[in-house]
Structure 1
């Protein structure tokens, strides 16, 4: 006959299961208290739940509350978010002050979120966090402060690059200057192109480039343009007046064509008269 000692592992497993069942009963009790307090009759009526400051380490599946829009789980001990599989209507989610270290695969489907609080957790990977959140195009308020990922040198610019819809980040309004800096940081080539162009023509910074570039511009331009360039090359300088003239000659040529209606006979004329119309012509107008 087996001794009691040989059954010790099974006893531990049974004790763990008992604690788990007790915890789930406690969790359900907390939820039922909230439902009763708010006067909800059916699961489909539940639009908000406050489960903050309950010492929760885990949360049972909340998929049955399909119309849930506001959920508070702040100031608990939650380490993973695997209970929101079908809560697609969530607009506000408060997970601040927990023990989250990774949210990969947990929140990306919650594209209706307007407010997301993740501050005061243990999130370390900024890129992984942004990959999880970048599909939330409706997100306006986001808090990530007091996480290790906040120590990234380009933290704020990275967040604004991946989540351009955010207006309030870590309790601070997002400024236009920050958005421009984020764009310049992550799109340096496009920024250089934009800065070198102005309404269809090069700016003065390009006009004051090397003499070789000035010569090539002169060969493509009119005789007057070439004369200005040669004079400028001899003096190794370009005056302000020459810059203005050069820029004028570098503008794109505009051209449009219209029909010359003066060559067409009017219908009110007497057709018995022998009068022949000139051949219809197209008039082309070209200007800079």
Structure 2
């Protein structure tokens, strides 16, 4: 019973702060509350805020909160300030707040990078996110991990997200997509058809070859008596295609890279080139 009483007293403290604010601003109805400032109030718990359906901005920074259990149906929240608390886990607490545009979580005690970032994946409007001064921010490739898994973020830890960082994140965490992308991007048609009797390697050195002359001469060439020679001649006139792809098989996955030391070398993908007709 003592625990229940303590919890109730902690929630009553935030309830009193809310009543004072509403009275000061002349607000009588809960539906008219769009902002609540409960920062720097030494709060350990916050009363359920579900009755404030139109709540848009909420300041809870500078308290002693270890978990967030007060935002069950506050779907309209656009800005949430939770910095300078004692939060150890936000799993299941914020994922439903899909209208958030700004989320401040710096200077807490969040340690689990994957579970924390999972809360942001449905927040397609989230533009500003702060996670610095948490233990999870010390993990290897932390910034690229967050950028890749929360693609809507434009400002992370007070630094603008660059296109190069997004590309690096995709190369690390979506290697299958990158392999497909690189295979398409590097595919190209070689200039001109091959010359009969000339190997592919020799073809690269014949820059003065005019494909129009070869095509024009074909109209006046007599038909070949031997069918095999005709097939060979036709095959030699096909376009040469060249594809280059990255071989990622020797590059360690994300989990493997995190287990390596900071000074351990990371292999780079090798380029494999294939040419065919």
Relative to the length of structure 2, the TM-score reads 0.70
Using the alignment, how far apart are the partners of 1:203 and 1:120 within structure 2?
Answer: 54
Structure 1 unaligned runs (5+)? 1-12, 208-220, 233-237, 253-288
Q: For residues 177-231 of structure 1, what are the alpha-carbon distances to aligned partners after superposition, in whole Å with 9 as ceiling and x for unaligned? A: 11111111112233233234348x4389xx9xxxxxxxxxxxxx95527624163
Match of 2:61 among 50, 56, 74: 74
| Match of residue 19 from structure 2 | 32
Using the alignment, how far apart are the partners of 1:18 and 1:230 within structure 2?
Answer: 85
| Match of residue 168 from structure 1 | 155
Match of 2:239 among 243, 249, 267: 249
Using the alignment, how far apart are the partners of 1:240 and 1:106 within structure 2?
Answer: 67
Cα distance, 1:141 vs. partner?
Answer: 0.2
| Match of residue 183 from structure 1 | 170
Cα distance, 1:136 vs. partner?
Answer: 0.5
**Residues 202 and 51 (structure 1), Cα distance of their counterparts in 2 relative to 1, 3 Å cut:** same
Match of 2:108 among 115, 118, 121: 121
Match of 2:188 among 183, 202, 215: 202
Using the alignment, how far apart are the partners of 1:195 and 1:52 within structure 2?
Answer: 49
Aligned length: 217
**Residues 125 and 240 (structure 1), Cα distance of their counterparts in 2 relative to 1, 3 Å cut:** farther
Contact 1:196/1:202, CA 8 A, preserved across alignment: no
After superposition, the CA RMSD in angstroms is 3.0
Contact 2:10/2:46, CA 8 A, preserved across alignment: no
1:224 alignment partner, SS class: coil
Cα distance, 1:132 vs. partner?
Answer: 1.4
| Match of residue 72 from structure 2 | 85
Contact 1:88/1:109, CA 8 A, preserved across alignment: yes
| Match of residue 120 from structure 2 | 133
Residue 224 (str. 1) matches residue 195 (str. 2): yes
Contact 1:138/1:165, CA 8 A, preserved across alignment: yes
Contact 2:55/2:77, CA 8 A, preserved across alignment: yes
**Residues 80 and 226 (structure 1), Cα distance of their counterparts in 2 relative to 1, 3 Å cut:** farther
| Match of residue 235 from structure 1 | none
1:241 alignment partner, SS class: coil
Cα distance, 1:133 vs. partner?
Answer: 1.2
1:249 alignment partner, SS class: coil
**Residues 28 and 174 (structure 1), Cα distance of their counterparts in 2 relative to 1, 3 Å cut:** same
Relative to the length of structure 1, the TM-score reads 0.67
2:147 alignment partner, SS class: helix
1:142 alignment partner, SS class: strand
Contact 1:101/1:123, CA 8 A, preserved across alignment: yes
| Match of residue 266 from structure 1 | none
More helix by share: 1
Structure 2 unaligned runs (5+)? 212-235, 243-277
Using the alignment, how far apart are the partners of 2:103 and 2:196 within structure 1?
Answer: 60
Q: Which has the higher contact order (CA 8 A, sep 6+)?
A: 2
| Match of residue 129 from structure 2 | 142
Contact 2:58/2:81, CA 8 A, preserved across alignment: yes
Using the alignment, how far apart are the partners of 1:46 and 1:62 within structure 2?
Answer: 11
